[in-house]
Amino acid sequence: MKTTHRIILGDARRLEGIKSGSIHLAVTSPPYPMIAMWDGVFSEQSCRVASALGAGQGAEAFELMHQLLDGAWDELYRVLSPEGLHNFF
């Protein structure tokens, strides 16, 4: 069996160049909400996250961070083959 491997660097929320159902393996290690080393990544994407973090509103920041990740999960499910393997950790 011949396989093809491609590494794509970019925003996982926008995988326009990948056909729906065409991926058989997806391994992710996203930025994790409410882990200090990732706060800046989320804050750069959303002023609401930055504001909630700055105000000490952890629960609000946590929810907003997950909303940002939802776009990545939606795209991964779109491109993943029904027979594909995934490991979202």
Domain count, the chain: 1
Q: Is residue 37 part of a domain?
A: yes
Q: Is residue 45 part of a domain?
A: yes
Establish how many alpha carbons lie within 13 A of residue 50's alpha carbon, considering only the half-sphere containing its beta carbon. Answer: 7
For 79, phi then psi, to 5°, come to -85, -15
pTM (whole model) above 0.85? no
pLDDT at 70 over 90: yes
Domain span including residue 63: 30-88
Q: Is residue 46 part of a domain?
A: yes
Q: In terms of Cα–Cα distance, which of 41, 52, 47, 50 is closest to 12?
A: 41
Q: Is residue 57 part of a domain?
A: yes
The 10s digit of each residue's pLDDT in 24-44 is: 888 777 788 888 889 999 999
Q: Taking the mean position of all CA atoms in its chain, how far away is CA 49? A: 16
